[in-house]
Amino acid sequence: MARVTSGARAEATVAEFLKKHGLKILDRNWKTKVCELDIVARKKDVIYFIEVKYRQSADQGGGLDHITSQKHNQIKFAARIWNQQHEYEGDYRTIGAEVSGPNFENISLVEID
């Protein structure tokens, strides 16, 4: 149960961080039967699909290390479905967001395209 709570808190932390940096949150925890996206956000004419990973300490390894090529392909697949459902044909990016620290105080964003 703690993992779900930590994951939800990490996603909320990243969503607030993105809003403070001028992005509009379009979707959170968007799901279909076959795929999911943690956060979908927009800034200007670009849509960002964000995968959030949380690690309490460095002993658990970096969260972004857990975005494997298979996971990246799943994110891109989900992004294509989201784009189709929303009739969006513009520019988009896939982003890995790592949250770390016992108080969720460290946030790193990396483009994973």
The per-residue pLDDT for range 3-58, each reduced to its tens digit, is: 558 889 899 999 999 999 999 999 999 999 999 999 999 999 999 999 998 877 65
Between 1 and 76, name the one with better pLDDT. 76
Residue 112 clears pLDDT 70, i.e. is over it: yes
Residue type, 87: E
- What pLDDT score was predicted for residue 109? 85
Give the tens place of pLDDT for each residue, 66-75: 677 888 889 9
How many whole angstroms separate alpha carbon 26 and alpha carbon 20? 15
Residue 1's pLDDT band (cuts 50, 70, 90): very low
Map out the domains of the chain with their CATH numbers: 2-111 (3.40.1350.10)
- How much is the pTM? 0.86
In the block, residue with structure tokens 């993992």 = 3
Following CA atoms 41, 43, 44, 46 in sequence, which dihedral angle do they give, to the nearest 10 degrees?
-60
